[in-house]
Chains A and B, each alone.
Chain A
Amino acid sequence: MSDKVLMKGNEALAEAAIIASCRHYFGYPITPQTEVAAYMAKRMPKIGGTFLQAESEIAAINMVYGVSSTGHRVMTSSSSPGISLKGEGLSYMAGADLPALVVNVQRGGPGLGGIQPSQSDYFQATKGGAHGDFHMIVMAPASVQEMADLTVKGFELADKYRMTAMILADGTMGQMMEPVSLEYDIKPMPEKPWATTGTKMQRGHNIINSLSLVPEELERLNFERYKKYEQIEENETLYEEYMMDDAEICIAAFGIAARVSKNAVNEARRQGIKAGLIRPITLWPFPSAPFKKASERVKSFISVELSMGQMIEDVRLATECRVPVTLCNRVGGMIPSPEMVLEAIKEAAKNGGAR
């Protein structure tokens, strides 16, 4: 019999964070990610960690900023409207080169929107998300196991590159239960000689700061940060290819949309249509290479999204518009059905890629 346990995505993520030696969590209640906070509230006091329900999302991200300044692993989680409030802190953390894990269990928007699943924060997550030039490492889990795995990876990458890693999930990933195994080989945390832990009168003072009033200096910092981003694009891009060997129609989808699309690809194959799927796991850096490669061969791409078409822009950029890229989407908390995706595949197959 299986030793695996069923866990909700939100809970698996929270436990994985603890396993990754995160001992500080700050958050504010918002559906559909509140289980993360509830889980941390139960666990942290028992392991000498901090759980603090902050007065706002703004306060929570700034508490994260404070802990991160001391070099400890720290996280916060929220859902779309709350992430907007955290935007200020995310920009400051980018400017101060501070590592942290931030989780967005997305819901439909804009505004207060709804509480059902969505992927409409793709732009916000991958194109910066607040003022100034910066990126976060953005990872999109498509299973409960990945909710946990990418959390562990997120902490490691955040520390490695001194920047925010974001888990961009959705209500489905947060709420669903699947078997999960939480066995990890946690690498030791890198040295953080920059941390503000007190000089102990042994060194000059460390300063955590995002202010730089000399334009030449601020320019240099931006250029340096973007060199780091280039390294990440080179080394940390993650994706999954499914039935892409001989595919003529390629679906681009992440998270829950990729799960739905897999069903559609399977059904299309049964009906004799050569469909395949590229599932970006890192949304930033975006896995442009497999899309570019596929564009030399496939007849068309279909971007399946729970948004009005956000990732589709990156697919078009990656494929340099060589072949048509169409959108198959539901929004507002609705999720495309496998049947709907299958129809889109059939339509694309019928058109032979031409529009």
Chain B
Amino acid sequence: MSTTQFLFAGFGGQGILFAGKFAAYKGLMNEKHVSWLPSYGPEMRGGTASCSVIISDDPVGSPIVSKPDVLVAMNLPSLDRYEDAVATGGTIFVDSTLIDRKVKRADAAVYYVPATRLASDNGIPTLANMILMGNILKVMNDFDEDGVNAALKKVISAKHADMLEVNLKALKIGAEY
């Protein structure tokens, strides 16, 4: 019996909600119970964005993640805001291109991934989110190519099928980092 609570947070436009949706579908592919809950505000663009994702062996209770097991911080305000909320023994993924400070929590496993730089170096500047995601899957021992492909196909609509390949590329870059 296990439950993992994710909190993805960053600027609007970084693909926070998309990464969360992918994570939820990946959980679904693994036959888990999942939920995905976005923050929503009056602004359509910019501002802060976050989403709660829960992947569990049991039916999900509250879909709201207040003590994340895994925090994915894609900007400094998000790390500042949520670092202390991370559960004891939790894991923090940091986009170290955009966040120049170290994580203060001593009881958390921390992974610094220069996702934004890797994204632009590889000509996929909008996919830092998925590079981080790839790294998360590797760390969590969940990077099976079939499952990743199946989840991508769910989260990317048929209309945008041409995006499958670059997303897979981003995930691999993250997994290999």
Does B35 interact with chain A (Cβ within 8 Å)? yes
Contact of A2 with B by CB under 8 A: yes
Q: Which residue of B lies closest to A178 (CB)?
A: B35
- Bound-complex Cα distance A179 to B59 (A): 11
The 8 Å CB contact of B40, one of A175, A178, A179, A337, is: A175
Task: Considering the complex, give the chain A residue whose CB is closest to the CB of B20.
Answer: A177
Q: State how many angstroms separate the Cβ of B50 from the closest Cβ of chain A.
A: 12
Give the interface SS of chain B, mostly helix, strand, loop or mixed: mixed
- Are B64 and A6 in contact, CB atoms less than 8 angstroms apart? no
- From residue 150 to 177 of chain B, which have CB atoms closer than 8 A to chain A? 150, 154
A1 within 8 A of B: yes
CB-based contact A6/B61 at 8 Å: no
Given contacts A177-B35, A177-B36, contact A115 B41 (CB under 8 A): yes
Beta-carbon contacts under 8 Å, B53-70 to A:
60-64, 66
Q: Is the CB of B40 within 8 A of A6?
A: no
Which single member of B31, B40, B64 contacts A32 (CB below 8 Å)?
A: B40
Output the least CB separation between B45 and chain A (Å).
Answer: 15
Q: Which residues of B contact A (CB under 8 A)?
A: 21, 24-25, 28-29, 31, 33-38, 40-42, 60-64, 66, 150, 154
**B-side contacts of A5, CB under 8 Å:** 154
A interface residues (Cβ-Cβ under 8 A, vs B): 1-2, 4-6, 31-32, 115, 171-172, 175-179, 256, 259-260, 262-263, 266, 335, 337-339
Known A-B contacts: A1-B31, A6-B25, A179-B34. Give 6 more (CB < 8 A): A1-B150, A115-B40, A176-B38, A259-B61, A263-B62, A338-B61
Given A1-B150, A2-B28, A338 and B37 contact (CB-CB distance below 8 Å): no
Report if A6-B21 is in contact (Cβ < 8 Å); known contacts: A259-B62, A260-B62, A260-B64. yes
Q: Which 7 A-B pairs have the closest CB atoms?
A: A263-B61, A177-B36, A176-B37, A260-B62, A262-B61, A259-B62, A263-B62
Given contacts A6-B21, A260-B62, whether A176 and B36 have CB atoms under 8 Å apart is: yes
Best-buried of A1, A115, A177, A266 by chain B (most CB within 10 Å): A177
Q: Please name all residues of chain A whose beta carbon is closer than 8 Å to the beta carbon of B24 when the two chains form the complex.
A: 6, 177
A262's closest neighbor in chain B, by CB? B61
Inter-chain contacts of B60 with A (CB < 8 A): 178, 259
Q: How far is the CA of A142 from the CA of B63 in the complex (A)?
A: 10
* Contact partners of A6 in chain B: CB under 8 A: 21, 24-25, 28, 34, 36, 154
User: Contacting A266 at CB < 8 Å: which of B38, B61, B64?
Assistant: B61
Q: Say whether, besides A5-B154, A263-B61, A263-B62, A171 and B40 are in contact (CB < 8 Å).
A: yes
Task: Kindly list chain A residues whose C-beta atoms are within 8 Å of the C-beta of B29.
Answer: 1-2
| Chain A contacts for B36, CB-based, 8 A | 6, 176-178
B61 pairs with A2, CB closer than 8 A: no
With contacts A2-B29, A6-B25, A6-B28 known, is A337 near B34, CB below 8 A? no
- Measured between alpha carbons, how far is A175 from B66 in the docked complex, in Å? 17
In the complex with contacts A6-B36, A177-B21, A178-B34, A260-B28 CB distance below 8 A: no
Q: How far is the CA of A271 from the CA of B42 in the complex (A)?
A: 41
A sample of 19 cross-chain residue pairs with beta-carbon separation below 8 angstroms, ordered by A number, consists of: A1-B31, A6-B25, A31-B42, A172-B63, A172-B64, A175-B38, A177-B37, A178-B34, A178-B36, A179-B28, A259-B61, A259-B62, A259-B63, A260-B62, A260-B64, A262-B61, A263-B62, A337-B66, A339-B66
A176 to B35, CA, bound (A): 7
**A177→B62 CA distance, assembly (Å):** 13
Cα-based distance from A179 to B37 in the complex (angstroms): 12
Residues of A within 8 A of B42 (CB): 31, 115
Q: How far is the CA of A178 from the CA of B38 in the complex (A)?
A: 12
Q: How far does the Cβ of B124 sit from chain A's closest Cβ, in whole Å?
A: 24
B contact residues around A262 at 8 Å (CB): 61-62
Give A178 to B35 CA distance when docked, in angstroms. 5
CB distance from B29 to the nearest CB of A (A): 5
B37's closest neighbor in chain A, by CB?
Answer: A176
The distance in angstroms between the C-alpha atoms of A145 and B130, with both chains bound, is 28
How far does the Cβ of B174 sit from chain A's closest Cβ, in whole Å?
Answer: 22
Least CB distance, A181 to chain B, in whole angstroms: 12
| Complex CA–CA separation, A303 to B93 (angstroms) | 38
Interface centre among B28, B38, B61 (most CB of A within 10 A): B61
Please, which residues of chain A bring their CB within 8 A of the CB of B21?
A: 6, 177
Nearest residue, chain B, Cβ from A3: B28
Nearest residue, chain B, Cβ from A173 = B63
